[in-house]
A and B are shown apart, each in its own frame.
Chain A
Amino acid sequence: MRKSTMPPSIGFLERAALRHPMRAHILALLALILIAAIVAIAFAALIFVRPSSAAEPNKPAIAKQAQNPAAASAERGKKLFTSDGCYECHGRAAQGGVGPRLGPDPLPLSFIEKYVRHPSGQMPPYTAKTVSDQNLADIYAFLKSLPESPKSKDIPLLNQ
């Protein structure tokens, strides 16, 4: 008929970024380094060293909300993950799909916030106008709440 379902044109580099989301993150960081070396170093620390809350001293309320169960709701975040369309690319269990896996054990909130506001790859931008800091914190709480997946070596169907 008249429709096309051409997937978004995903080049090899983009596919590599999806497979290894850290690569896309590194590209984003390089741009920041050119703008402000001090800020870049801080971000690099956030990315390459999975931080504790103390490693994110400069993050605004959003980070604090995510670390604070009373302020960030995983239950609400689960609903937002669907209603705001995150599931479309990342899967309903955040397991990955067209986009990379997001959870469990997500990347630091500070990085996720930076990336969704100013994505560098195929991901569309989610500005503060459409996803508030509070909503993002809730989504992050949902990602943190996800149970661990089984290991592939323990799944016979993935070893044949």
Chain B
Amino acid sequence: MGRKKISVDRRSFLKNATVGAAALVASPVAAAEAVANPQPIPAPRNAAAPLPPLPRRGEAQLATAPATADPNANIITVDHPGSDFMVDAFKAVGFEYLCSNPGNSFRSLHESFINYGGNKNPEFITCCHEESAVGMAHGYFKIEGKPLMVCVHGTVGVQHASMAIYDAFCDRVPIVVVLGNFGDAQTRASFVNWTHSAQDPAELIRDFVKWDDQPVTLQGFAESVMRAYKTAMTPPYMPVALVCDTDLQEFPIPNDPTLRVPPVTVDKPPQGDSGSVQQAAQWLVAAENPVIVADRAARTPGGLALMIELAETLQAAVVDRNGRMNFPTRHPLNQTERGGAAVGNADLILGLELTDFYGIVNAYYGDIYPRTRSLTKPGVKLISINSNDLYLKSNYQDFQRYQAVDLAMAADAEATLPSLIEAVKKLITADRKRMYQDRGAKLAAAHQRILAENRDLAANGWDASPISTARLSAELWNQIRNEDWSLVSNCQFVNRWPLRLWDFNKYYHYIGGEGGYGVGYGAPASVGAALANRKYGRLTVSIQNDGDLMFAPGVLWTAAHSKIPLLIVMHNNRAYHQEVMEVQRMADVHERGITRAWIGTTLIGPSIDYGKLAQSMGMHGSAPISDPKDLAPALREAIAVVKSGAPALVNVLTQPR
């Protein structure tokens, strides 16, 4: 056992390796055969079994090799690299998939996953960009409720990944990011390895991960894997990062009988204290017009059920900020589409996991010197339950403007809801219950009024070409409403039409948006969410912004390659339309050149054929559709493809918003 020792020096080994590689390149038939007849996957080592005694690098004396100045010069194979032990640790946590773009700073770990680990739990998902890999993990979590791991190459890989990590951080999504790094200068084998090495590789993303570590031993690595998972999965959820040193991966597992993978433990989510919960319940029961505003309140399907129970118990209005699927869109107490009126009429507002409480109770206005005005009545009571108050970073300002409240619980909303509901139920009298019934009836009427109004608004421009976003949404709803569907794209960019028209009532019906509003999230997150939905047989749908897709369209190939069923309906407005409006605004304010806002903001001349782009990646892709009458047949055709287990794209030329 242990490392094989043969009498070739390093120069000879490299020379031989080069010849071997050249022979493989020169023999495509052999390469094809290798793909067609892969070697069997080696049996995984039993993690509980004792490790074979292995000498540390530098300890071995070469029995047959001539003496050289470097005792390691003739070592060319390793039976049990440290990366095998790392795989044991990652498997002990349990990751279904590993999303990654390959890089040699984690080549040993990569090889251990696919051979020693059998490429299962996690299964390697080949991504064409680190941003796509992280984005997929982002979308996956919001469906599955479990994090994925992502391996990124040292330095350049983490630079690619950084925006997507920031989005996940802002969206409170846990991801375990593993960064390869050539830590020891002595063992960097090329100038590229130097270029891709760093003293502190995680420094680049430290401002937007919850925790990071750079372990220097395998035991330390295993324990840091457990701590990483536990930290990421304690609300507020956030990404974490582990630096994975190349020597630690590639050198043999040391002969250390104490080396072991510890079990993982996860913290229970923090609940609001009993006194504050009781106070909140008293105020809620006494309020005449309480409004529950939720952003990322429901972490799980159970959270959605608790939100319904609290609202129905109080017959209180609910305004959903849609960071998650917090409340059914057709529920009579859902007042989201008249949120301004509800907040303006409230005498108590309960904010649950709000990103921006200030923005709920104030309105911004003005272009050059933005100002705010209060939206609430004098004397309104404000209650906050927010796990974000438990953990704050300094540099990036995603924490929004400070809002004073009457009662703040630094706690997880979903974990606090059961005790709050129980306290509320105990306090409700028969008189209050009668009043609640009247209140609920009025809210139900208002809900119906707004739904009818939205339908009237959707009829405007019904036959317009390019196709209105309302028409697109209505046509899509008609095709999927009798399926077990899941919409995994942000509705903000299609004027929220699906949320205004469709019946969202299951947790996986909606997953919110980017978190950090970084463009490039939409495509990979929808593919990742579809990956999570695949085993449940759900019809996953995304309304895909054109500008977003063009950041890293290679994720379409990943969807096709990994056979991820996903219906992508392009919202092809041929622009970074938000920026069109922003530049237009400046031209208007500056009183000049108001016809030139398209410069630098639009994707015209040439038009991008997204159907052909999809086809080039091995997917179904439709011709451009600009006549609304052509939309239904194209959707039907694409859905048939998706139901067969593959992704499909429908290219719809749309109105701006």
Contacts and interface: CB of A to CB of B under 8 A. Distances in A.
Interface of A: 1-9, 11-16, 19, 83-85, 87-89, 91-98, 101, 120-122, 124-127, 129-131, 149-152, 155, 157-160
B462 A150 contact: yes
A4 B362 CA distance: 22
A155 B579 contact: no
B584 A155 contact: no
B464 A93 contact: yes
B130 to A, nearest CB: 12
B481 A160 contact: yes
Given A85-B597, A160-B481, A5 B655 contact: no
User: Which of A16, A85, A92 has the most chain B CB within a 10 Å cutoff?
Assistant: A85
Interface of B: 131, 163, 337-341, 343-344, 359-360, 362-365, 367, 370, 372-373, 375, 452-453, 455-464, 466, 468-470, 474-475, 477-478, 481, 492-493, 495, 501, 516-520, 547, 551, 576-582, 584-585, 587-589, 591-592, 594-595, 597, 655-657
Given A83-B595, A130-B594, A88 B577 contact: yes
Contacts of A159: 455
B456 A14 contact: no
A95 B655 contact: yes
Contact of B518 (A1, A9, A87, A130): A1
B589 A125 contact: yes
Contact of B460 (A11, A85, A93): A93
B656 A91 contact: yes
Contacts of B655: 91-93, 95, 97
A126 B364 contact: no
Contacts of A85: 580, 584, 587-588, 594-595, 597
Nearest to B501: A158
Given A91-B468, A152-B455, A98 B362 contact: no
B-side interface mostly? helix
Contacts of A14: 340, 363-365
What are the 8 closest A-B residue pairs judged by CB atoms, nearest first? Answer: A11-B363, A95-B461, A12-B340, A95-B460, A124-B588, A97-B657, A16-B340, A93-B461
B588 A149 contact: no
A92 B581 contact: no
B461 A149 contact: yes
A67 B587 CA distance: 29
Nearest to B548: A5
B586 to A, nearest CB: 8
A124 B495 contact: no
Given A14-B363, A92-B656, A155-B459, 11 more contacts: A6-B517, A12-B363, A14-B365, A98-B656, A120-B365, A124-B585, A125-B589, A126-B594, A127-B591, A149-B460, A160-B477
22 contacts: A1-B163, A9-B370, A11-B359, A14-B364, A14-B365, A16-B341, A84-B594, A85-B594, A85-B595, A91-B464, A92-B466, A93-B468, A95-B655, A97-B469, A97-B657, A130-B591, A130-B592, A157-B475, A158-B459, A158-B474, A159-B455, A160-B481
Contact of B588 (A5, A94, A125, A155): A125
B519 A1 contact: yes
Contacts of B458: 152, 158
Contacts of B518: 1, 3-4
A16 B597 CA distance: 27
A2 B372 CA distance: 27
Given A83-B595, A101-B460, A151-B459, A124 B589 contact: yes
Contacts of B370: 9
A7 B375 contact: no
Contacts of B597: 85, 88
B492 A7 contact: yes
B147 to A, nearest CB: 23
Contacts of B584: 85, 88, 124
Contacts of B580: 85, 88
A122 B475 contact: no
Contacts of A129: 591
A92 B585 CA distance: 18
B591 A13 contact: no
A12 B344 contact: yes
Contacts of A130: 587-588, 591-592, 594
A122 B588 CA distance: 12
A6 B460 CA distance: 26
B403 to A, nearest CB: 13
B142 to A, nearest CB: 19
A6 B582 CA distance: 10
Contacts of A87: 656
Contacts of B585: 124
A122 to B, nearest CB: 7
A8 B577 CA distance: 12
A1 B167 CA distance: 10
Nearest to B520: A1
B165 to A, nearest CB: 12
Contact of B367 (A7, A12, A124, A150): A124
Contacts of B578: 5-7
Contacts of B587: 85, 130
A97 to B, nearest CB: 4
A126 B464 contact: no
A129 B163 CA distance: 41
A160 B462 CA distance: 16
Nearest to B466: A92
Contacts of A13: 340, 344, 363, 373, 375
A96 B455 CA distance: 13
A4 B514 CA distance: 10
Nearest to B590: A130
